[in-house]
Amino acid sequence: MKKVAIMTWYNYTNFGTVFQAVALFNTVLKLGYYPMIIHYIPHQKLVTRKGIYKRLNFYGKMLEEMINKYIINQNLIKDEKRDRAFESFLNRYVKLTVPCKTDSELFRLNEEFDAFICGSDQIWAPTLFNSKYFLDFVQDENKMISYAPSIGLPVIEDKYVRHLMKQYIGRFKHLSVREEQGKYLIQELCGKEAIVVLDPTLLLTTNEWNNMTSYKIESDPYILCYFLGTNSQSMSSCYECNFRTASAADIRMGDYWGPRFKSNKNGVSMVITMTSRGEEILQELYKAGRIELKQTNCEEYWTVQYPQNPIKPVFYDELMEELRDDSIPLKKIVDKYCREYEFSSRLARLYGYVKRIYKLAEGIFIV
């Protein structure tokens, strides 16, 4: 049986990373090969700098990252049970190679495997550039396959990273990506044609996923929270969002937040298609009767959504600190901050009324 090595992210304890690794591994296994995920954990990333200003900026950002990391680690809730669950899931459904910490250990894999696959996830993200995920250690280019890696950005701004990506992607004879955007970037970058394929999580059937599912039912009331990153990061993401006016997604969706459907008790979502593929998906769901669809123009979007990040409230950090403190009753926190908000809202409305009356009176006197 021919052996296939898979180079991807797998060790981060989030569902997307683990599921894509498990899905690709089991898909290769179904095809009649013997797959293994390369036991490689990145410990650094490429940083480019040029000129004294950029050098100072680099060290400033590095210091800021160190401080932020320390603060986050201080507030981070260590969920060892969750970590063990991820580790147990991986141990059941994938096989790893021997640990590969050095270039020579990765290079030795050439003697053992008949093919190498890199993908999926955002392993080709320019901001996290690592040549290992472009299979730079593989000797025979005919053995190299990319399956659904994501670049994750519409442009590659760093010229040096752009040059390296052009060089490494140019080696692939079997090339595919996860998004149309990545296909166009590669075409522009090195003139190669990449095929757009499904994320590996969609290659397994419902029954195959169900066979991996735990059917444990919680007896006590609970709330399921799905966050990328720590709770404090997720709560502050609305104030630091980089995707208000640009996105790499096919579809963007969120609550409508406008007066037009205020009386609708079922809830209304605003959906924006960012690509032709996103438009196709939306139309397919509409034709299948899965959704109700009412088209509108972008002007309405801007009237009910923030085009810019809102200003973080002055009491935000204090509020987060109190929410993390189990000794403070939730009702006490709600009473404290909601009353302050209601007072501010009433004050703002009163100011609005006075302003309108002033303008009206000004117009009368001018006439």
Q: 333 with 323: CB under 8 angstroms?
A: yes
The encoded tokens of residue 70 equal 């320390």
Same domain, 248 and 157: no
Same domain, 41 and 142: yes
Q: Does residue 310 lie within any of the structural domains? A: no
Phi, psi of 147 (to 5 degrees): -125, 110
Same domain, 291 and 328: no
Same domain, 273 and 161: no
Task: Give the residue with greater pLDDT, 292 vs 100.
Answer: 100
Same domain, 29 and 70: yes
The encoded tokens of residue 235 equal 């709560």
Would you state the pLDDT for residue 233? 47
Residue 123 clears pLDDT 50, i.e. is over it: yes
Same domain, 102 and 39: yes
CATH number for position 176 = 3.40.50
Confidence of residue 365 (pLDDT cuts 50, 70, 90): very low
Q: Does residue 97 lie within any of the structural domains? A: yes
Least confident of 1-15, 81-95, 135-149, 338-352: 338-352
Same domain, 296 and 341: no
Q: Does residue 101 lie within any of the structural domains? A: yes
Q: Does residue 237 lie within any of the structural domains? A: no
Would you state the pLDDT for residue 51? 46
Q: pLDDT over 90 for what percent of the chain?
A: 40
Q: Does residue 221 lie within any of the structural domains? A: no
Domain boundary among 163, 191, 210: 210
Residue 326 clears pLDDT 50, i.e. is over it: yes
Q: pTM above the 0.75 mark? A: no
Alpha helical stretches, state H, the chain: 15-30, 51-75, 80-93, 103-107, 159-169, 180-190, 206-210, 231-236, 276-287, 298-304, 316-324, 330-366
Q: Residue 227 and residue 125: Cα distance in Å, rounded?
A: 21
Same domain, 260 and 129: no
The residue segments making up the domain with residue 107 are 3-210
Same domain, 358 and 294: no
Q: Does residue 234 lie within any of the structural domains? A: no
Q: Does residue 67 lie within any of the structural domains? A: yes
Mean per-residue pLDDT over the chain, rounded: 80
How many structural domains are present in the chain? Answer: 3
Same domain, 293 and 329: no
Question: pLDDT tens digits for 248-307?
Answer: 678 877 777 677 777 777 777 788 887 888 888 888 888 888 888 877 776 666 666 666
Same domain, 282 and 330: no
The bridge status of strand 269-273 relative to strand 251-255 is antiparallel
Would you state the pLDDT for residue 75? 46
Question: pLDDT tens digits for 168-222?
Answer: 999 999 999 999 999 999 999 999 999 999 999 999 998 999 899 876 666 776 6
Same domain, 147 and 274: no
Q: Does residue 231 lie within any of the structural domains? A: no
